[in-house]
Chain A
Amino acid sequence: MKNLSNLEPGEKAVIDSFSDKELALKLMEMGCLPGEQIYIERKAPLGDPIAVSISGYLLSMRKSEAKTIFVNEIK
């Protein structure tokens, strides 16, 4: 399954699950829940961190953190 860091900016996906339980709690309370639509809005100039759009706002995270979020791409 793809993780969030595999997506290119603009490609839409739906969150499936998380691999880091601790981080998942933090992400979930900020609105990143399984079933939510998510996409990368932009990457930082050096390619890392990334800014994602989730439930109507912008959230930035490091690539290593995005790797813990599994997603299903929307074609």
Chain B
Amino acid sequence: MTLSQKIKVALVGNPNSGKTTLFNALTGLNQKVGNFPGITVDKKVGACQISQLASKNKVDTEFIDLPGTYSLYPKSVDESVTFQILCDSKNEHHPNVNIIIADASNLKRSLCLATQVIDLNTPCILALSMMDLITADGVEIDIDLLSDQLGILVVPINARKKIGIGNLKQAIIKVINDFEIPSCFVDIKNLAPELIGNIQNKLTLKSDYNAFQIACNYKTITGLSEKEKSHFEGLAKELKFNPKRSQATETVRRYKAIDKLIDACVKYPEFSKNNSLTQKLDNILTHPILGFGIFLAILFLIFQAVFSWSEYPMEIIDNAFAQLSQFVGNSLPQGALNSLIVDGIIAGLGGIVIFIPQIAFLFAFIAILEDTGYMSRVSFITDKLLRGFGLSGRSIIPLLSGAACAIPAVMSARTIPNWKERIITIMVVPLMSCAARLPVYTLLISMMIPADQKWLIFNLQGLTMMGFYLIGFVSAISIAWIMKYILKSKERGYFVMEMPTYKVPDWKTVGLTIFEKVKVFLIDAGKIIVAISIVLWVLSSYGPSDKFQEIEEKYQYSENAEVEIASEKLEASYAGIIGKSIEPVISPLGFDWRIGISLITSFAAREVFVGTMSTIYSVGDADNTKSIREKLMSHKNPNTGEAFFTPAVALSLMLFYAFAMQCMSTLAIVYRETNSWKWPIIQFIYMSLLAYLASFAAYQLLS
């Protein structure tokens, strides 16, 4: 390795060790966030340039923030990523230098992973975080002795205050130029001497420990060929190698050595006052009554933010896009291109950008809750309630924020560590009644129930609305319960997790989380959403050309007939043709072709239903619920001559919107978050079936 090449540095550490804060301090906005290929584990790569003190030359450095883990042994998909990158030297992300982040206030446990990584013999540096915490507690660490005993550089840091970052960067240059491999911290060769020797030969590895890790976990390394794997398997069998027992022996030996090291290097005060603040806060925050009360209050605040506060920025975005489309529409010559840009692309983009405030608000809260350490308490107090439904305490925030909007809610499910619980949460979140269903419900409830009708002292319209929120919640947890039995998971679910001490949130981390989530949504989901928007635009603005011409000719001499033209054109369009052709399928639900067209166009977003209905019924002003309502109410059923929108039809339609997956943006984000089309397709099918059956039952029973 020379300094003229780009240096690859991996950040390794326990969860909650301050790893991400350090990554942000090192790279700033210079980050790329994506998925590792084939799996949904965040891949965070960032770059910076380090100037050498002596020559002033700049060295290009690339940092990768590896998923947090407590040891190299992989037990989940996330941990497997860390294991493979560190132990497989052919992996494309295999680092030249490891920065091991150790939480100084949790030194013993941090050193388990740290010494494992050291034993891999890649040049490494130990970064000691949370030094301010232990100094306040009166704990003293002899840094020089620690460095001496481990045989590597040790750099104390405070990433939030940017202390020690410069030293850390210089340490990278130092170990690239000159790194002496320290002697094994724990000798494991005698656990399987022959197997280790053989793997070392086969893969040309110097480190005993690296070979030992491969002996224990060769099955999970994607970089090994099938031939190599079967060779190791045969050899392990022949030598009667027991990976689990060896792993246990190694861990015990390692901790023994760590105990000795800590005795030598760390001085604890006689009376430790540590964690007393955390204890006091936990007394309140996990209290049977206060704890739930505070949690509900926080949930209410989140809900308020995503639901109401985001309305203002959303309105601004909406207006800005309306003005933009008006401006572009007027400045470009009339025609197909104009319509494509205005009604297809700009409308599609507007439909994406509009979600930014909701995503930003939700992730601001989630980042704060995670960063303070409160999130693990949420799991702690709600775990038992949700466990029976195949969910865990971590599902509650995605689930409840789904009542505002499913998109940020699905994205927030990434904080659920267990694969099965994560998938179940993502699959049921869109059943929660989101804000986009509100305009549909409002219109239909107002048609079904007179405004002044009361049940006891309650307004019946309000009660019905509440009932629909309840239907959403109950169906979500019921489907979760069913999926618990259907889904099979290879990964064993544990609830063993650290409850970190409380901390003040790092605002830079919060800001970067928001930025990164918005970016992921705009770019990854945005592409799909724009594509579907254009398809929907084509369907609703084109049709067999002779029909369109007839309409143009018919209104050739009438003025102010835009509303009628739009209505007739929509009917004649491909969307109209599809709407009409599905009428036989939806007529058992009480729907006619007009509703059929609205079902198709509102796939873009549920609230489009109201707009489409107003176009079909040629209501000039789509913003005026009252005029749409009156128009719809006066519509007669051609067969019976009575009002078409009976309470049965309205209820059936509402149930359809309660269950159906009428939201392309959600499907796009589910694809992004599960990394396959399998889950969004299953979701679309099961929700559509549920919607059809519920509407069918309601209409047939009531009419």
Contact = CB atoms under 8 A, between A and B. Distances in A.
Nearest to A32: B496
A74 to B, nearest CB: 19
A62 B106 contact: no
Given A31-B255, A45-B291, A25 B73 contact: yes
B69 to A, nearest CB: 9
Nearest to B113: A29
Contact of B497 (A29, A31, A41, A59): A59
A58 B499 contact: yes
A65 interface: yes
Interface in B267-282: 274-275, 278-279, 282
Interface centre among B112, B251, B500 (most CB of A within 10 A): B251
Interface in A23-38: 23-31, 33-34
Contacts of A47: 384
Given A29-B251, A45-B288, A51 B385 contact: no
A51 B492 CA distance: 21
B421 to A, nearest CB: 13
B108 A31 contact: yes
Given A45-B292, A51-B380, A55-B109, A23 B286 contact: no
Contact of A45 (B252, B287, B376): B287
Nearest to B75: A26
B106 A42 contact: no
B496 A61 contact: yes
B178 interface: no
A60 B109 contact: no
Interface string A41-75: 11011111101000111111110010000000000
Interface string A5-32: 0000000000000000111111111110
A46 B379 CA distance: 12
Contact of A56 (B106, B247, B380, B496): B106
Counting contact residues on chain A (CB < 8 A from B), the size range is 20 to 34
Interface of A (DSSP majority class): mixed
B106 A30 contact: no
B71 interface: yes
B380 A27 contact: no
A49 B384 contact: yes
B318 interface: no
Given A26-B496, A45-B286, A55-B109, A33 B252 contact: yes
A58 B247 contact: no
A26 to B, nearest CB: 6
Contacts of A31: 108-109, 112, 255
Nearest to B497: A60
Given A45-B287, A58-B498, A60-B497, A25 B247 contact: yes
Contacts of A34: 252
B485 interface: no
Contact of B383 (A24, A44, A55, A56): A44
A39 to B, nearest CB: 13
A31 B288 CA distance: 29
B458 interface: no
Contacts of A57: 106, 109, 498-501
Contacts of A41: 279, 282
Interface string B641-677: 0000000000000000000000000000000000000
Contacts of A51: 282, 286, 380, 499
12 contacts: A23-B496, A26-B494, A29-B73, A30-B498, A34-B252, A45-B286, A45-B288, A46-B385, A49-B384, A59-B499, A60-B497, A60-B499
Given A29-B251, A42-B282, 5 more contacts: A25-B247, A45-B287, A57-B499, A59-B496, A60-B379
